[in-house]
Amino acid sequence: MHPKLARHLEKNGLADSTQEKYESILDNASGNDLIEWINKRVSSKTPVGTVLPLRAAVKHYLVAVLGYDEEEVKGLLPKARGRSNRLRHALSPGQLAIYHAAIENLDSEPSRTILGLLPATGLRIGEVTGLRRSNIKRASGRAYLVFRGKRDKERTVPLNAAASRLLEDYLAEHPTTDHLFAGPSGFPITPHAVRKHTRALAESYPELAGLSPHVLRHTFATMSIRKGVDIATLKALLGHENIATTQRYLHPDLDMLSEAVDRLD
C-alpha cells in the first residue's frame, strides 16, 4: 500500500479489515486510470454493497496520494446508486442450535470461543480477533467489552451470562496478558483463520450453508429483535453510525411472520 494512503486511512480510523479490502480493490485496479476503471465497473445493476467499497477505495487514493480535493472527487466518481443489497441472512433458532452443537465438537482454540461469541455479541469478526485482555471490564457483577471499533470509536458491549461463561472458561485454560485471542505466534488470530472454520462448518452441515461471521452478526441482530430490543439500542450494540444501516437487519423471517398471523387465530 502507498505510504500516503496508509497514513490517510489510519488517520481516518478505518479498521484493518477495511484497509485490507481497499488495498485489494486498488491492487486490482493497478495500472489503470482509476476514474475510468471504476466507471466501467459500476452501473445501475451493480449492488450498492459492491459500489460503496469500490468508490471509497478510489476516493481515498485520489485524495491521499494524488492530491484531489474531496469535493472534486465527488463529481468524478459514480454515484453510490445501484441495485439494493439483498436482505441480510440469519440463522433460524433451529439452525443456531445445530451451530452451537457443531462448534462444541470443534477442537481448535481460540476459534471455538470466537465462534461462540459472535452470535452472542454481534461484534464484527475483526473486532473480536483484535480484542485484548484489557478490553474486558467488570462492574456490578457483569462483564463488558470496551474497545475501539469501526472508525476508532469506543464501543461498550455487555456480555450475557452464556458469553461471560464462554469467555471465563477460555481464560481459565488460556491465560493471557495481552492479546485475548492469540495464535501460536503470539499475535492475534486473523479473521481469515476463523472464516476457514465457518466455511468448513457450512460444508459439513447442509443446514448451515452460507455460514459466515457476518451471518452470525446478523443472527445476533435478528435474535435481539425477536426479544423486543428497540432499534436505537440495537444500533448502539452493533456499532452502527447510521440507523438506516441497522434497519437493513430488521426484516421478519418466516417464523416471525408465522407467529404474527397465529396471533390472529
**Residue 104 sits in the same domain as residue 217:** yes
Neighbours of 182 (CB within 10 A): 16
Domain assignment present for residue 20? The answer is: yes
What pLDDT score does 116 carry?
95
**Residue 112 sits in the same domain as residue 208:** yes
**Residue 98 sits in the same domain as residue 71:** no
Question: What are 99-110's pLDDT values in tens digits?
Answer: 999 998 888 899
Who has greater pLDDT, 96 or 244? 96
What pLDDT score does 114 carry?
96
**Residue 23 sits in the same domain as residue 137:** no
**Residue 250 sits in the same domain as residue 191:** yes
Q: What pTM did the predictor assign?
A: 0.64
- Degrees to nearest 5, angle at CA 70 with 65 and 71: 150
What pLDDT score does 249 carry?
66
Who has greater pLDDT, 226 or 157? 157
- Element housing 155 (H / E): strand 154-158
Percent of the chain with pLDDT over 70: 85
Q: How far is CA 63 from CA 78, 97, 112, 139, in A?
A: 16, 48, 41, 44
Question: What are 149-175's pLDDT values in tens digits?
Answer: 776 778 889 898 889 999 999 999 888
What pLDDT score does 260 carry?
65
- Element housing 223 (H / E): helix 213-226
Nearest in space to 151 (alpha carbons), one of 240, 21, 237 = 240
Who has greater pLDDT, 168 or 257? 168
If you write DSSP's letter for every residue of 174-193 in order, what string do you get?
A: S--SSBTTB-TTSSBPPHHH
Any idea which of 34-48, 83-97, 202-216, 246-260 has the lowest mean pLDDT?
246-260
Q: How many Å from the N-terminal Cα to the C-terminal Cα in the chain? A: 61
What pLDDT score does 88 carry?
52
What pLDDT score does 254 carry?
59
What is the domain range of residue 226? 93-259
Which residue bears the cell 496478558? 177
Q: How confident is the model at residue 22 (pLDDT cuts 50, 70, 90)?
A: confident
What pLDDT score does 265 carry?
60
Rounded Cα gap, residues 52 and 37, in angstroms: 15
Percent of the chain with pLDDT over 90: 28
Who has greater pLDDT, 177 or 232? 232
Q: In 66-97, which positions are buried (b, 16+ CB within 10 angstroms) versus exposed (e)?
A: eebeeeebeeebbeeebeeeeebebbeeebbe
Q: Name residues whose C-beta falls within 8 Å of residue 14's C-beta, 6 or more positions apart in sequence.
A: 22, 150, 151
Q: What is the mean pLDDT of residues 26-32?
A: 86
In the three-class reduction of DSSP (H, G, I as helix; E, B as strand; rest coil), residue 74 is classed as helix
Structural domains counted in the chain: 2
Catalytic residue list: 124, 150, 214, 217, 240, 249
Chain mean pLDDT for the chain: 83
Identify which of 5-9, 40-44, 72-76, 216-220 has the greatest average pLDDT: 216-220
Rounded Cα gap, residues 38 and 121, in angstroms: 36
**Residue 246 sits in the same domain as residue 144:** yes
What pLDDT score does 44 carry?
62
Question: What are 46-94's pLDDT values in tens digits?
Answer: 766 677 788 888 888 888 888 888 778 777 887 755 554 444 578 888 8
Dmax (CA) for the chain in angstroms is 65
**Residue 255 sits in the same domain as residue 145:** yes
**Residue 247 sits in the same domain as residue 140:** yes
What pLDDT score does 198 carry?
93
Which residue bears the cell 433451529? 94
Q: Give the CATH number of the domain where residue 216 resides.
A: 1.10.443.10
What pLDDT score does 166 carry?
92
Domain assignment present for residue 88? The answer is: no
